[in-house]
Chain A
Amino acid sequence: MFVRILNFIYKNHEYFVFALLIILSIIILMTNDAAPIRKIQGKVADFFYFLHYPRLWINELSDIVEENRQLKRENLRLKLLNWEMLEAYEENKRLRKLLGFMKNTTYDIVPAKVLNRGVTPVLSSILINVGEKQGIRANMAVISVSGVVGKVVSSGENTSIVQVLDDVNFRLSVRFQTSRVLGIMKWRSGEFAEVRNIPSSLNIYPGEKVITSGFSDIFPKGLLVGEVVEVIPSEDKISQVAIIRPFANLKKIEEVFVIRKF
């Protein structure tokens, strides 16, 4: 009888094992909330925790990539903010200087911002944000804190075009401040202007200031223009040429004043 039972079990062992495993599963399932089962589950989870390391590692890597991307974005944002602040700081410095200039001058002047540099190849010009509404007309002098910049050549309602010193057709009646020699200044090349036809007998030295002569309806007398950097004899040997560096930085100018009346 016993042997027959054993034979039956052996013959159908797959089904017995199946039944056993199913019963075992159901028992575990039913006792899910039991403390010993929870404890065993905790221990097994602890034991197999290392299996999660690769996933955590990969996730961490992808997090680092994302974090790096965000930090780069943040870095750029802060850099831009920093540039803006530096720009504001520089503007503040310039405006303080302008304010001081405006208080000290006796001319009727209108402050203006440079909107753009002209793109017309035959005319070196700048566009400023004041026009007829502010009483600006053609042939008004334009200066900066440093010195003469140019003159208004045309004005619209709210903007004006200014012909700048470095335009090849610009001519300015000037006086050498120490030697009191008069001359007509025109642009030479690069950063320099020149006054030609100065008699060789007159002594002009590098470093001498050049100012407006006052023989003009546009520029009042005594405005700073630049300084002599070199004096060279002309080809005819009878006269000399004074090379002048303007005080106003014409390439970087941002704020100017238009002299309405003097």
Chain B
Amino acid sequence: MLARVAVFLGICFSVLLAQIIFVQWLTIEDIRPDFILVLVLIAGRVKGRLFGQMVGFFMGLIIDAIGVGSYLGLSAFAKTVAGFAAGYLKGRKWRLNFYVHALFNFLVIVLHFSIFYFINFAGSELSIEYIFVRYILPSSFYTLVIFLIVDRLLSLEE
């Protein structure tokens, strides 16, 4: 049990490092993939809603606190929702076909970025359409690609 916790904390730490170090080279026109969100989605799918939202909340809080996110609590909020939603896939992945699975995760990712960007840009003069097309959709697709790659690699291991 303790070993599992240690492994999971190690994974969290590695993903955090990856988010801090590598994202600067993967950023395209201000759009960056969210490795933490990928971790939250996978945690939710594998361990369920409770675990997913807990991981989402704490990882989001850490990322907000160390200044990589935006307002303190914003990533925590968005990732809690994402972790909770991803938990619905627990035990269902193999019953869904690939496209439905990908679409569900895409919608969760869009929901996450919608919460994040709409609150982040609240009060700015940017229109909702602009925020959606300029930030939410590109970030969602970018993160979905990373998620699908990681998910595929994990499936191969399983």
A58, B18: Cα distance in complex, Å: 13
Residues of A within 8 A of B49 (CB): 14, 18
Residues of B within 8 A of A52 (CB): 20, 66
A41 and B72 within 8 A (CB):
yes
Q: Nearest-CB distance from A46 to chain B (Å)?
A: 9
A29 and B50 within 8 A (CB):
no
Size category, A interface: 20 to 34
A78 at the A/B interface (Cβ < 8 Å)?
no
A22 and B81 within 8 A (CB):
yes
CB within 8 Å of A: which of B65-120?
Answer: 65-67, 71-74, 76-77, 80-81, 84, 87, 119
Q: Nearest-CB distance from B141 to chain A (Å)?
A: 25
A71 at the A/B interface (Cβ < 8 Å)?
no
CB within 8 Å of B: which of A56-95?
Answer: 58
A17 and B50 within 8 A (CB):
yes
B7 at the A/B interface (Cβ < 8 Å)?
no
Q: Which residue on B lies nearest to A17, using beta carbons?
A: B50
A17 and B54 within 8 A (CB):
yes
B20 and A25 within 8 A (CB):
no
B76's partner among A14, A18, A25, A51 (CB-CB below 8 A) is A25
Q: B interface, by DSSP: helix, strand, loop or mixed?
A: helix
A238 at the A/B interface (Cβ < 8 Å)?
no
Which of A17, A24, A25, A48 neighbours the largest number of chain B CB atoms within 10 Å of its CB?
Answer: A25
Q: Which residue on B lies nearest to A54, using beta carbons?
A: B21
A32 at the A/B interface (Cβ < 8 Å)?
yes
Decide: A26 near B80, CB < 8 A? Known: A17-B50, A41-B65, A44-B65: no
B27 at the A/B interface (Cβ < 8 Å)?
no
Size category, B interface: 20 to 34
A51 and B20 within 8 A (CB):
yes
Residues of A within 8 A of B50 (CB): 13-14, 17
A26's partner among B16, B21, B53, B77 (CB-CB below 8 A) is B77
Residues of A within 8 A of B17 (CB): 51, 54
A228, B74: Cα distance in complex, Å: 96
Residues of B within 8 A of A28 (CB): 61, 72-73, 76
A58 and B21 within 8 A (CB):
yes
Q: Nearest-CB distance from A231 to chain B (Å)?
A: 79
Sample (17) of A-B pairs whose CB atoms are under 8 Å apart: A14-B49, A18-B53, A21-B80, A24-B57, A24-B73, A25-B74, A25-B76, A26-B73, A27-B73, A28-B72, A29-B73, A29-B119, A32-B71, A41-B65, A48-B65, A51-B17, A54-B20
> What are the 4 tightest A-B residue pairs by CB atom distance, in nearest-first order?
A28-B73, A44-B65, A25-B77, A29-B73
Please name 4 further chain A to chain B contacts, defined as beta carbons within 8 Å, in addition to the given A21-B54, A40-B65, sorted by A numbering: A14-B48, A18-B53, A54-B17, A55-B21
